[in-house]
Amino acid sequence: MNHKLWTRRAFTLIELVAAIGIFVIVLLFASVIFKVSINSHRTAGANAEIMQKLRAITDQLNIDFKGFRKDGYLVLRSELLNRNEYGNSPTPSDFRADRLFYFSTGDSQAWNNTSVRSNITKVYFGHDYRSLYDTAFPVSKWSLARDAKLITPFFSDIDANNISYADLKANVTGTENEAQNLLLSGIPIDIQANPDDVRGLMCQNVGEIKIEWTNGLKVPGDIMLWFGLLRPSGYPIEDPGPPYIATWIPGTPEQYWPTALKFTFTIYDSKGILKQGRTFTHIVYVGD
């Protein structure tokens, strides 16, 4: 009877080292793929958050200026603030902090009392008080505010003014002074101490805001002229500043009223994943 002798051959040291090396390379590739996948997921989430904020801002602007009429008030204040973009920014830079005061028509209701309604709303649009005046607060953490007060004759409330639109239009000096004071300081927002302040918080992590206007004038090449900070046109509605202020009030000649406003703003995600944020431009057309 013949018997076959089977022997088990062991790995050599070289083969063992080669196998470990291949395994390590596979792990390295897997970790790189995993890291890339995680970063892509975080970036996609940050972009989605920013786009959600963008839509909230532009939708509100479209609604407001769809109901805007050139028989009231529109005041634009533009200025540069020397601020750090992030908490650890090495040196501060200049950032635009433009804001608007205007009236919008449409069916609106009070935030705290839904039974209070009006078809005219007085609006402040711009950064809040802390963003404008807290020099240690980084630009990437600034908050965009929208303070809306309903015009409700014979009724006074936290969200409503006991005055008529006709009275506001007649009191040009008083209304204009109110607008300038509001645009100078911005509205205070502290949702930690007062949750009701969320009514004025339109969006967080909205940094630089630039607002420009045009009345349809163009230069050769069909290029639209946009006016704003450091671009005085010499029109009587402008105070070139600084800060640059443009004011349209009842009685302002039609040719001086803007036909459109251009908003350019930078939005950041709340976790700081997209370090430079994303910058967008949105144009609204001013109604008749």
- Sheet with 260-267, side-by-side order of all strands: 206-214, 260-267, 278-285
Dihedrals phi, psi of 38, to nearest 5 degrees: -65, -45
Longest dimension (CA), the chain: 123
* Of the candidates 61, 76, 104, the residue with the CA atom closest to the CA atom of residue 212: 76
Give the model's pLDDT for residue 231: 67
Q: What is the C-alpha separation between 215 and 254, in angstroms, rounded?
A: 10
Our count of domains for the chain comes to 1
**Of 93, 180, 100, 96, nearest in space to 131 by CA:** 96
Domain contains 230: yes
Mean pLDDT for each consecutive 10-residue tract of the chain (288 residues)? 56 73 76 71 90 96 91 93 88 94 90 85 96 95 94 84 90 94 93 87 96 84 80 74 91 90 96 93 87
Q: Which single residue is written with the structure tokens 């509205």?
A: 187
Residue 139's Cβ-count burial label (10 Å; 0-12, 13-18, 19+) is: buried
Is residue 3, in this structure, part of any structural domain at all? no
Residue 245 inside a domain? The answer is yes
Which pLDDT score is estimated for 42?
A: 85
Domain that holds residue 61: 13-285
The predicted structure's pLDDT at residue 230: 62
In this structure, is residue 1 part of a structural domain?
Answer: no
Evaluate whether residue 260 is within a structural domain: yes
Give a yes or no: residue 181 inside a domain.
yes
Please tell me what DSSP assigns to residue 97.
Answer: B
